[in-house]
Every structure is written in structure tokens, then in C-alpha cells.
Amino acid sequence: MINDFNYNTFVYKPFIMKYLFVIFVSLVVLACHSNKTASSNIQDKTIASTNCPEDGICTFKVLQNKVLTIKKDGFGELYPELSDGKKTVIKFEYKRNEIPNTADSSYSEIIYAEIESNINEIILKDETLSEAKVLFGRLCFCRGATGYYLVKEGSLKISTNNKGAKTYKLNFKVNEIPQIITMFQETL
């Protein structure tokens, strides 16, 4: 029985297993990298807005290569759906600070608009706001006064300065429900 014992197998087997494990882990780590595409230079832009009520926070986003689809649910209520596409969607969001120890105190307003990706200048007013699918959402526990509504009254102006920065300005009113945000102006 003692002659059947192979000292070389006993000593080298754990060493070989550890060596193979280190090689495997190294290959896995080296193989992991982010996908790089030609469009990776185009990035979405998000900023904290300064045009915000004191009782909350506001953000402004420019979402490249997206399209805004306005759909209806089973009750006929509007809602937005963003998907990949060849346009640009702008999104302004106001989130009111929640009231401590109060259930259902969350409140937010969201404004969406879809524009052509290569646009440098545009002015839309009232009826022509539909060209940009301007949509206002009031999301809260507000019985009968919540949901998404098409913006039919106001003006959207986008301009580009000589340094390439774009200014997005929207003044609007939604008659169907109360609103806190009636305008925003952001430059990126």
C-alpha cells in the first residue's frame, strides 16, 4: 500500500489547481469591458435646475437618440413611453420634498418634449407645440387631478449660441389640472 502512494501527485495537485484558478480569474477580469460604439460620443446630459421652487429639487435632462410615444392606458389616460430612436427628448422634472410622517405626500411634475436631434433653432407656440409632443405630468395622490396632459398653450424656444450651447425655454399652461411649474429655461 505504501508503494502506491505518489508523492509528486500529492504535492503538485493543489499547486496546479491554485495556478489554474488564478489564470481563470485573470481571464475573466481582463475579458470584462464596456461595449464601445460609434455613438458613444453622444451622451445624455443632466443638470440640477436652478429654476426650482424652494420646497423641492428639479432636474433637466436631454436624452439623445430617443423618441417619445404618447400612449393611452385601459382607461383612456395618457402616459409617456421612451424608446430608442433618432430624435432627442427633453425632460424637466420637479420633485417636491416629502412631508415627514405623512403618507402619500410625494408630488412631482414632469414635462417631456421631443425634438429633431440636429435642430439648432426652433420656436413653437400654442397649436404647434404638438409638433414637439409637449406633455405635462402631475403625479401625486391628488384625487381627480393627476395624470399626463398634452400642452396646448404656451411656447417652446430652443436656440444655440456661438459656442454651441443650447438654451431650452418653455412657458406653458395646462388648463385641466393645477400646476406649480409653468416655465423653465436651461442652457447646456
Task: Out of 5-9, 87-91, 99-103, give the one with best mean pLDDT.
Answer: 87-91
DSSP per residue, 98-164: PPTT-TT--EEEEEEEEEETT---EEEEGGGGGGGT-EEEEEES-TTS-EEEE--EEEEEEEE-TTS
Rounded-to-integer distance, Cα 49 and Cα 95, Å: 11
| Position with higher pLDDT, 69 vs 188 | 69
Rounded-to-integer distance, Cα 15 and Cα 5, Å: 18
Rounded-to-integer distance, Cα 59 and Cα 57, Å: 7
Q: CA geometry: angle at 129 spanning 145 and 57, to 5°?
A: 50
Enumerate the β-bridge partners of residue 99. none
Per residue in 143-153, pLDDT (tens digit) is 889 999 999 99
Q: Is 180 within 8 Å of 111 (Cβ atoms)?
A: no
For residues 111-134, average pLDDT: 96
Rounded-to-integer distance, Cα 186 and Cα 167, Å: 6
CB-based contacts of 138-145 (< 8 A; 24+ apart in sequence): 138/108, 138/109, 138/177, 138/178, 138/179, 139/106, 139/107, 139/108, 139/109, 139/110, 140/106, 140/107, 140/108, 141/104, 141/105, 141/106, 142/107, 142/177, 145/177, 145/178
Per residue in 157-178, pLDDT (tens digit) is 999 999 999 999 999 999 999 9
Task: Out of 1-10, 76-85, 102-111, give the one with best mean pLDDT.
Answer: 76-85
Give the per-residue pLDDT at 47.
75
Per residue in 37-52, pLDDT (tens digit) is 333 335 677 777 667 9
For residues 59-69, average pLDDT: 97
pLDDT-derived band at 101, boundaries 50, 70, 90: confident
Coil vs helix vs strand at 59: strand
Rounded-to-integer distance, Cα 77 and Cα 73, Å: 5
Average model confidence (pLDDT) for the chain? Answer: 85
pLDDT-derived band at 15, boundaries 50, 70, 90: low
Q: What is the pTM of this model?
A: 0.74
Give yes or no for residue 93 having a pLDDT over 90. yes
